[in-house]
Amino acid sequence: MKFSLKHIAIATLFTLSTGVMAEVSVITHPSNGASIDAKAVSKIFLGKSKKFPGGVEAVPIEQPKSASAHLEFHENVTHKKPSQLTSYWSRRVFTGKGQPPKEVRSDAEVISLVSRNPNMIGYVDSSAVNDSVKVVLTAP
State the Cα–Cα distance between residues 82 and 74, nearest whole angstrom.
Answer: 8
Tell me: the pLDDT tens digits for 66-75? 999 999 999 9
DSSP 8-state symbol, 59: E
pLDDT of residue 4: 53
Q: What pLDDT digit, counting tens, does each position of 42-79 carry?
A: 999 999 999 999 899 999 999 999 999 999 999 999 99
Q: What pLDDT shows up at residue 35? A: 87
Question: Topology of domain 23-139, per CATH?
Answer: D-Maltodextrin-Binding Protein; domain 2 (3.40.190)
Predicted pLDDT of residue 90 = 97
For the chain, give every domain's residue range: 23-139
User: Could you tell me the strand order of the sheet in which 59-62 lies?
Assistant: 102-103, 59-62, 120-125, 24-28, 134-139
The CA distance from 107 to 104, in Å, is: 8
